[in-house]
Amino acid sequence: MPTITLQQFMFGAIALVILGSAILVATLRNIFHCLLFLALSFLGVAGVYLLLSADFLAAVQVLVYIGAITVLMMFALMMTHRVMTTDISQSLTQWWLAPLPIALGIFAVLFRVYVRHGGQALVDTKHHAVPTTGIIGQALLTRYMLPFELASILLLVAMVGAIILAKEDKSDDPA
């Protein structure tokens, strides 16, 4: 019986969670349930990042994809009542063959990379994991200070813009 490392075991488990929930996202008929499984799938991807010792990326994945994007979609769903309860068929009757070449193509590329490297791990897993958050923080406030500050102005502008576009203007409203 081949021995496997804890890392490989964890990867297998996480991959099962990602793939399983992704399949459910694509097949379930209740869109709200799809969304919940989408969040689970995102969580699995965060786990993969952790295994690759990309701790910052994992945290961002949880914060942005689960904390922001999925929740935003849930809000959008809850505001459109009918969609919540209706069953929607997800099977495409005419185009079901179209994704096949794309999937096969991606598989071919990945398989080629795998063969080329003789089945060796592409990422150096023996290396000691260095927490990346601190390094990224330092880079943001030194070399990348200007883009970082510019991004903060961009966020301000985006907020102002979003409020302006979304706000309902009443006739006697001072603005």
Judged by the rule CB under 8 A, the positions of this chain that interact with another protein are 142-147, 150-151, 153-154, 157-158, 160-162, 164-165, 169, 174-175
Long-range contacts of 103-110 (CB under 8 A, 24+ apart): none
**Choice between 105 and 161, CB closer to another protein:** 161
Shortest reach from residue 168's CB to another protein, in Å: 9
**Choice between 15 and 162, CB closer to another protein:** 162
Of 11, 18, 60, 62, the residue nearest 41 (C-alpha): 18
Shortest reach from residue 78's CB to another protein, in Å: 24
Judge contact between 13 and 39, C-beta under 8 A: no
**Choice between 19 and 164, CB closer to another protein:** 164
Shortest reach from residue 64's CB to another protein, in Å: 16
| Cα–Cα dist 168/158, whole Å | 17
Q: Is 147 helix (H, G, I), strand (E, B) or coil?
A: helix
Shortest reach from residue 146's CB to another protein, in Å: 4
**Choice between 63 and 160, CB closer to another protein:** 160
Of 24, 40, 33, the residue nearest 84 (C-alpha): 33
**Choice between 26 and 164, CB closer to another protein:** 164
| Cα–Cα dist 32/84, whole Å | 6
Shortest reach from residue 171's CB to another protein, in Å: 8
Distance of CA 28 to the CA centre of its chain: 19
